[in-house]
């Protein structure tokens, strides 16, 4: 029996690494396609190297990095809360980022905001997202009780969302710019944003992978995790900090991208059964692939016009989750 279990674990391990290699190949292929897609759609002829280097390459890498951050954050949220419907925005970070941008626009005006977009609005979104997570943790009195933490996140999201609507009522000229942020876009991602997301993402993946055994133990319950010698509260604090940092970094650079953080872990679990260590890495990789593919479609579908990438991810991610629900209902009906 023991030999069979060891053999089964090795098979799962090899399948996980096989999907990792397939994912890396997909990333390389999508990056090459992204370099060929511009304002006129897919281009096969000669293109000015400066356009490729200064616009298309950083945007393509930035789209992948943002998706990877959201995929990792979604996998952490679902593991920490033991809820397959958890997403990176569960702790109010989306509402906090929106409020931060709305306040910045109301304070300096829309015209002035365009001149300091990369610094001012992204910084306001980053501070707003982290502040919302901090407020959620204060209201929940820490991370010991998962249900209280979830309810606090819902309350913070609703209150900050109402505050954003109040700011827009006072300064309605900010609505159009804020709407672009809410819909999500990678059009403003340059080298500085791409390097920032990559610089945050790689250490976060490393920390999450090192602490993945905690998620394996937590899946059996808090009491079981503590009986295994795991320090539940400090480890949960650490992983929540990683979740908040990933979400805030991605949101501050690309706006609110829907469904990527929710769908990526589901896609990984549908393809391979593995431990959280490889699952977190695969979820990050899948999130990057999903957002990069959606960004390429957003650029090329109705070129020379461009769709907000957040609309595509919401539609495609929603359809995918509906398909998963349908498959689950079919299995229940057939009793398999």
In tens, the pLDDT along 64-80 reads 999 999 999 999 999 88
C-alpha 52/C-alpha 60 separation (Å) is: 10
pLDDT band for position 221 (50/70/90)? Answer: low
pLDDT band for position 111 (50/70/90)? Answer: low
Angle, helices 191-210 vs 276-300, to 10°: value is 160
Residue 165 clears pLDDT 80, i.e. is over it: yes
State the pLDDT at residue 6.
47
Higher pLDDT: 107 or 31? It is 31
Residue 97: closest CA among 78, 120, 77, 122: 122
State the pLDDT at residue 2.
45
State the pLDDT at residue 289.
94
State the pLDDT at residue 3.
47
C-alpha 309/C-alpha 54 separation (Å) is: 20
C-alpha 257/C-alpha 263 separation (Å) is: 12
Residue 12 clears pLDDT 80, i.e. is over it: no
Higher pLDDT: 175 or 203? It is 203
Q: Count the domains in the chain.
A: 1
State the pLDDT at residue 143.
63
Residue 89 clears pLDDT 50, i.e. is over it: yes
Domain range for 153: 2-334
Mean pLDDT taken over the chain: 82
State the pLDDT at residue 8.
44
CATH (domain of 271): 1.10.3470.10
- Environment class of 238 (CB within 10 Å of its CB; exposed 0-12, middle 13-18, buried 19+): middle
C-alpha 70/C-alpha 294 separation (Å) is: 14
User: Which of 28-32, 44-48, 98-102, 183-187 is the least confident region?
Assistant: 44-48
- Environment class of 223 (CB within 10 Å of its CB; exposed 0-12, middle 13-18, buried 19+): exposed
pLDDT band for position 123 (50/70/90)? Answer: confident
Residue 187: closest CA among 97, 255, 250, 247: 255
Mean pLDDT score, 158-171: 89
State the pLDDT at residue 60.
94
Mean pLDDT score, 133-137: 89
C-alpha 280/C-alpha 77 separation (Å) is: 11
Of these ranges, 39-53, 178-192, 281-295, the one predicted with the greatest mean pLDDT is 281-295
Residue length of the chain:
336
Q: What is the CA radius of gyration of the chain?
A: 20
State the pLDDT at residue 282.
93
State the pLDDT at residue 199.
92
State the pLDDT at residue 73.
94
Higher pLDDT: 314 or 228? It is 314
User: Which of 7-21, 172-186, 197-211, 276-290 is the least confident region?
Assistant: 7-21
State the pLDDT at residue 7.
45
State the pLDDT at residue 183.
85
pLDDT tens readout for residues 178-202: 887 888 888 888 898 899 999 999 9
């Amino acid at each position: 029996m023991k030999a069979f279990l060891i053999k089964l674990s090795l098979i799962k391990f090899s399948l996980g690494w096989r999907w990792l290699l397939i994912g890396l190949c997909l990333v390389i292929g999508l990056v090459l396609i992204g370099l060929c897609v511009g304002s006129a759609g897919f281009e096969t002829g000669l293109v000015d190297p400066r356009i490729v280097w200064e616009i298309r390459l950083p945007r393509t890498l930035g789209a992948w990095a943002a998706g990877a951050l959201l995929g990792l954050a979604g996998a952490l949220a679902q593991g920490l809360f033991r809820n397959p419907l958890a997403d990176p925005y569960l702790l109010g970070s989306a509402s906090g980022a929106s409020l931060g941008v709305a306040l910045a626009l109301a304070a300096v005006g829309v015209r002035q905001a365009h001149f300091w977009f990369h610094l001012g609005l992204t910084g306001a979104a980053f501070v707003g997202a982290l502040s919302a997570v901090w407020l959620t943790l204060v209201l929940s009195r820490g991370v010991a009780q998962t249900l209280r933490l979830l309810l606090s996140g819902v309350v913070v999201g609703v209150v900050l969302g109402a505050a954003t609507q109040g700011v827009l009522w006072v300064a309605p000229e900010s609505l159009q710019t804020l709407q672009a942020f809410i819909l999500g876009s990678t059009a403003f991602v340059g080298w500085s944003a791409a390097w920032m997301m990559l610089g945050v993402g790689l250490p976060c993946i490393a920390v999450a992978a090192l602490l993945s055994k905690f998620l394996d133990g937590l899946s059996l319950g808090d009491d079981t995790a503590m009986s295994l010698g795991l320090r539940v509260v400090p480890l949960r604090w650490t992983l929540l900090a990683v979740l908040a940092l990933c979400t805030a970094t991605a949101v501050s650079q690309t706006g609110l991208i829907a469904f990527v953080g929710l769908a990526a872990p589901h896609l990984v679990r549908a393809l391979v059964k593995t431990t959280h260590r490889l699952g977190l890495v695969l979820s990050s990789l899948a999130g990057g692939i999903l957002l990069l593919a959606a960004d390429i479609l957003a650029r090329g579908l109705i070129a020379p016009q461009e769709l907000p990438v957040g609309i595509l991810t919401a539609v495609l991610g929603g359809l995918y989750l509906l398909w998963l629900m349908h498959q689950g209902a079919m299995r229940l009906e057939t009793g398999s």
